[in-house]
Structures are given as C-alpha cells and as structure tokens.
Amino acid sequence: MAEAIAHRGPDGRGTFTADGVGLAHVRLSIVGLSDGRQPMSNCTGDIAIAFNGEIFNYVELRDELVAKGHRFHTQTDTEVLLQLYESIGEQCLQHLNGDFAFAIWDGRRRRLLLARDRMGVRPLFYTRSGDTLYFASEIKALLEVPGVEAELDPFALDQIFTMWAPIAPRTTFKGILELEPGHVLMAQGGQVTDRAYWTMQFPDARDIDPGRIADRQEELQALLTDSVRLRMRADVPVGAYLSGGLDSSLITALAAPMAPSGLNTFSVTFDSTEHDESSFQRLVAESLNTHHRSVRCAGSEIASWFPDVVHHAERPVLRTAPAPLYRLSGLVRDEGMKVVLTGEGADEVFAGYDIFREARVRRFCGRQPHSRIRPHLFRKLYPYLPGLKQQSPQYLAAYFGAGTDRPDDLLFSHRPRFRSTTAAKIFYSDEFKATLGSYDAAEDLTSRLPRDFGRWHPLHQAQFLEARFLLPGYILSSQGDRMAMAHGVEGRFPFLDHRVVEFAGRLSPEAKLKGLEEKHILRCVAKGLVPDTVIHRPKQPYRAPDSSSFVDGQAQAYVGECLSEQAIAGTGLFNPRAVSRLHDKSRSRPLTGFRDNAAFVGILSTQLWHRQYVQNNRHGVASARVAAPVAG
C-alpha cells in the first residue's frame, strides 16, 4: 500500500503495528526534517498517528500545551497534533488551522479516528474488505488490498458528466468511499460512524449585516496576511504559483516580504493566445521582484502528459486543465522546491466565478423579460469568449436559460452549467443509460443540501455549491493535490484558511459581487499591493486547450486505441459509432463547442481510467501488502 503512493512521500517511509491495527506512512518532509518520522507514537506507545498535510498553527498550539505541562521530543506539528488529541480527544479538530488528513489509533479505547480538513484540501479514502477497514490518501493504495477490486460506480461517472466530479462520499470506484471535507470517522467495536465537525455557513438572507466595506477591508487584509504568514512556515523554502490573475498576485504580494531570500514564483504559459497570461505573470513578477520561472505548454505536450494525469487523478476529467498543472509541479520539484502557495479558493469564497455574475443577470432577465439591455449584459459576462459577442439576443437568452429556470430552484445558479455538461451524455450507450435508469445527478445533489440552504441569499447558495462540491471534488483534487503530489509538491491555500472562509461567509453579497464586479472587497485589499492593470483586468478563468491537444503527435496512437469502436464497445459505456464520428470530427477541424470538447476529453479520460484501473486492475504497481487489519 505504501509503495503505491510513494510519490506522495519520497523522503521516508515507516510502519506501525499493534494488536488489530497497522499504519503505513510515506513522508514528504517539510517541518521537523530530522525528527518527523511517522507513524509517530506517544510516550506510552498506545496512541499512534499517521498524518498527511500541515497544521499551520502548531507553534501556538505547542506553546499552549507546554504551558499546561506537556513536554515535546520533536519540532514537528505531528507531535503537537498527537499530544493535543491525547489531551482533549476529538475536540482537537476545533483547534486546528491546517490542511490535513490523518489517522489516530487510540489503543486505550481501541478506537480509530480518521479526519479530513474543513475545505477538503487533503484526500482520504476508505473501504471495507471482510471485517477490516482500510484507508489511504489515494485509491491506488486500497487496490493493493487482497479482495478490493477496481469496479466502476456508474452513478459516480454520471455525476462527473453532470457536475465535473462525483458527489462525496461516492467515488468512481464502486465500494470505495471518500471521507467528506470537515468530517471525522470513528471505528470502534465493529461500528463505523461518520459525522461533520465543521461546515460552511451563511446567515439567513434577512439577517445579513451590510456593514462598511472600509472596515471589513482592513479586517480582511489582516486575516489574509496572517493566513499567508502561517503558510510560509516550513523548514524548507516556500514558493508561489503565479497565474497573472488577481488571486495569485495578491497572495504573492503578501508572501514576498516574508521570504528573506526572495520569493520563487512559478507559472504556466501556453502557445495559444486564448489561454496564455504570460504578460500579466511577468508584470507581477517584475513589480514584486520575485525569482520567476515558467513552463510553456504546447498542445502535443498536454496530450503526452494526459495518461499520467488520469492515473494520478484516479477519475475521468472533462477538461485538460490538470495537465499543465501536473507539469508545473514537476518544474517546482526540478527546481529543488516542494511547497508552493496558490490563489485557489478565492473565486469560491469571494464570488469570483462568472457563474455568479451569470446567475445575477439571469435573475434580472427573469424579472425584466423585455429589457433592452439583456443582450448587452450577456455579452459582458464572457469577454474572453469572442464567439458569444457575435450571437443574436435571442440566441444569448436561450443559451443562458434566461427566464426559463424557476428563481426558487435551489440549483438555479448552476442549471446552465449542468445543462451544458449533461449535453455530452448523448454519447452514452443504450446499455449504460439502462443501468442509470431514472437516476438524476442534479436531484441527488439537491437532496444533500443543508436544511437551511433555502433561507440563504441566492449568491450564498451559489457559493456553497461551488465551495462544497466542485472545489474539493475537482479544483483541489484533480487540479490540485493529485497533480502536485504526483511530484511530491505540497500546495498551500491561504484563501481557504477557515477564518477567512468564515469571515467571507458573514460579508454581504454586495461586498463580494458589486453589480457585475466580482471579488469587490478583494480588489480593494489589493490596491497598492498589486499592479492596477491586474486589479482591473477582466476575469479570465484558468483553462487549457482541450480536444485540439490530441490532434497531432504521439498522442494519436493511444487516442486511436482508446477511442476505437472496439475499445468503446469493450467498456460498454459509450456509443461506438457516435464516438467514432466525434473522433473523426476532431481530426478534421477543431471542436469549438463546450459539449463536444467536454465529451471528447471526458470519453477519452474514462477510457484511459478504465484501461489503467479496471482492465489492468492493479495498474502495474508492485504489490506491497499490509496484512494487519487496519492500514493507511
């Protein structure tokens, strides 16, 4: 099991066994380089921990414990967590500021505790085989357990083809579950229980305090500065990803003065002008005097990395965007670094995505169906998609579903995205459709919403959907942890400090989305720290060339194999003739629509996933079994 995830911890390996339990750990050494070996046990040897991630406020927690008489033998956050648990049990979770997934074996109570951080930065999966519970940071390790087989969960695949990711705890693998963000699992006496210890909250719409932006701005800047300060803690250098947008630029600006030898920054650039942001990256790097490096990604290279991307993501994906990030983390590691700050999370927490603005425009159009400014508003939404500017008002209204969705629909904000993504399901085979029956992934999502969701402001509802489902399910996993840890690189996310998230949840909607200006309060904070050109540039989401990446070069061989009618018929998930036509279309001219691009990448990645995991089962990794009843 440890061998299967050795890429996550190339700096060391250890095991712990006791009566009825076994822990395995692979280490990425960042804090306590010489004395942080894991699994780590307490002084009496009856409590042990295997821990992935960081507790950023471990210095403060350690000081509090020392004041209470605790003695420490290492300089690690692992020992702080271990002693904090020994002192107050599972209540330790309420005191942690960090990105973590950990297992604690409490031999006194004969109890196993599994916990995952609040926003779902670090992954944690588990399954049962016979009377034994197994868990791991990646599913690859679980597939090394005798009796645990790789089998597709058809409903998880349908969720991916609806909302880009499975709805946790479901995974692409039948019978293998994901511990949800902000959850703790207890296994004791043959019983397994799972509960939330934290969840993202918003006030009732009628209870929102508008407040003064100036007062809140000062508080936010202090919070973000402290969040960055905590995440700069390491016994190795800390760098930063720099996309050229507001979020990463602000984090870089706050971090640069805290790097005594200068801050190392890293970027992805593209041959395609539609996707490239290198001019803004250079502007910020030069203005902040960072040591900047970038990796240029051609379409053929994206295609060559894509099988590895699917292997590490452990699930199909609908976009190629993870591939350049996979290569970027390789650059970071090649430069001798293994920790980077990123700007991920700001769009979810401070309402930066176009989907939030789009929902506001759609609600306006529902109230004002005859307004002459409707087409102008739609064209203003996506300045980086020139094709939309050329469309008629009637087309734009139909495209965005203006006036057709019920304003009281709990998924109102996301219906256009779901419709657009779901359109790719026309390539499903009849057999797969029959397997799904009447299953509706969107309605499944609705059933999992909080009880008080309907009382929140519409913007807050949309934010919750993004932050609770897409963020951990896709952004932090397929584009985040899995691509970075493939090269032994740890990403840190200052915007996802739970204090920042809770602060933003209390803000009025207008502080975040002022008219159609996204992240309003964040732009105010950035003034004087980030070049004005970056502050005022239109939002350009991170994207990469999709189907066009697979037209030329060596990719043609494996793409042709995966998308052949024989291979498609073999998995039984898609219609062979329809996929063949789509493949032919992609080779004759670029696929322009979202549906065709999402379908092409989604089908190809599903076929790759099926070949790597289901057909090859153990995916070629040498077996390294942990025979004890609990392993992780």
Of the candidates 522, 433, 417, 549, the one whose C-alpha atom is nearest the C-alpha of residue 474 is: 417
**For the chain, counts of helices (H) and of strands (E):** 27, 16
For 424-562, where are the E strands, in sequence order?
490-492
Known binding residue 552? Answer is: no
Tokens standing for residue 86: 């020994």
CB–CB of 608/562 below 8 Å? yes
Rounded to an integer, what distance in angstroms lies between the CA atom of residue 206 and that of residue 618? Answer: 54
The secondary structure of residue 631, as a DSSP letter, is B
User: Residue 310's closest CA among 92, 511, 160, 210?
Assistant: 160
In contact, 421 and 442? CB cutoff 8 Å: no
Distance separating alpha carbons of residues 167 and 440, to the nearest angstrom: 12
Q: Which two tokens stand for residue 446?
A: 């609705």
Task: Judge whether 413 and 457 are in contact, CB under 8 Å.
Answer: no
Q: Is 501 helix (H, G, I), strand (E, B) or coil?
A: helix
What one-character DSSP code corresponds to residue 381?
H
Q: Is 621 annotated as a binding residue?
A: no
Instruction: Give the CA distances from residue 126 to residues 138, 194, 251, 292, 324, in Å, rounded to whole numbers and listed in that order.
Output: 9, 12, 34, 40, 29
Neighbours of 68 (CB within 10 A): 9
User: Structure tokens of 434?
Assistant: 């029959």
Beta carbons of 608 and 320 less than 8 angstroms apart: no
**Tokens of residue 452, six digits:** 């008080």
**How long a stretch of residues is the chain?**
632
Encoded tokens for 308: 């590895």
Residue 15, exposed/middle/buried by CB under 10 A (0-12, 13-18, 19+)?
A: middle
Give the residue numbers of the binding site.
77, 268
Give the residue numbers of the binding site for L-glutamine.
77
Give the residue numbers of the binding site for ATP.
268
